[in-house]
């Protein structure tokens, strides 16, 4: 990444499964020091943990536009564990509450919002917001 008019740039390579997370953290830090636009860290406020209410979100969801990709949601004491299954492999991450039905990751720009529970007490769908994309998913 470079800013030629400023005479500044960043060349960064990582090697590992979580390289993108490390890359984004370093990029945000360098951007803050040098005043680069568009790389500000988003400040979030943690909502109180409510794991009993989160049972409505537990289960497997399939992305509407990418049915080979699914997420499994598992409530924990103070986070949700989200396991992403896709043809390239499986990864898990903790997501933290921002509101009663909205969660975020700390390491990348990703949020999940759940629809209100249906008559059966389960959330029928969720929406993923990641890097400007909006990805709806339905309960499987």
Would you give per-residue pLDDT tens digits along the chain (140 residues)?
888 999 999 998 888 776 777 787 788 788 888 888 877 667 788 999 999 999 999 999 999 999 999 999 999 999 999 999 999 999 999 999 999 999 999 878 899 999 999 999 999 999 999 978 999 999 99
Give domain limits for the chain.
2-34, 51-139
Distance CA 80, CA 95 (A): 5
Q: How many residues are listed for the chain in this entry?
A: 140
Longest dimension (CA), the chain: 59
pTM of the shown model? 0.75
51-139: CATH, from 3.40.50.300, 3.30.70.580, 2.40.128.210, 3.40.50.1000: 2.40.128.210
Q: Quick one: pLDDT at residue 40?
A: 67
* pLDDT for 24: 76
Which pLDDT belongs to residue 19?
77
pLDDT at position 110: 92
**10 Å Cβ neighbour count for 79?**
20
In angstroms, the CA 123 to CA 89 distance is 26
Q: Can you give the pLDDT at residue 98?
A: 96
């Amino acid at each position: 990444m470079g800013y030629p008019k400023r005479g500044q740039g960043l060349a960064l390579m990582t090697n590992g499964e979580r390289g993108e997370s490390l890359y984004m953290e370093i990029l945000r830090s360098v951007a803050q020091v040098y005043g680069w636009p568009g790389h500000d860290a988003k400040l979030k406020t943690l909502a109180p943990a409510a794991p009993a209410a989160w049972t409505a979100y537990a289960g497997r969801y399939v992305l509407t536009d990418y049915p080979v990709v699914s997420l499994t949601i598992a409530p924990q004491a103070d986070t949700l564990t989200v396991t992403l299954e896709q043809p390239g492999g499986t990864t898990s991450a903790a997501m933290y509450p921002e509101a009663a039905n909205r969660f975020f990751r700390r390491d990348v720009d990703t949020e999940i919002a759940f629809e209100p529970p249906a008559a059966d007490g389960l959330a029928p769908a969720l929406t993923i917001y990641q890097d400007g994309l909006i990805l709806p998913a339905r309960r499987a």
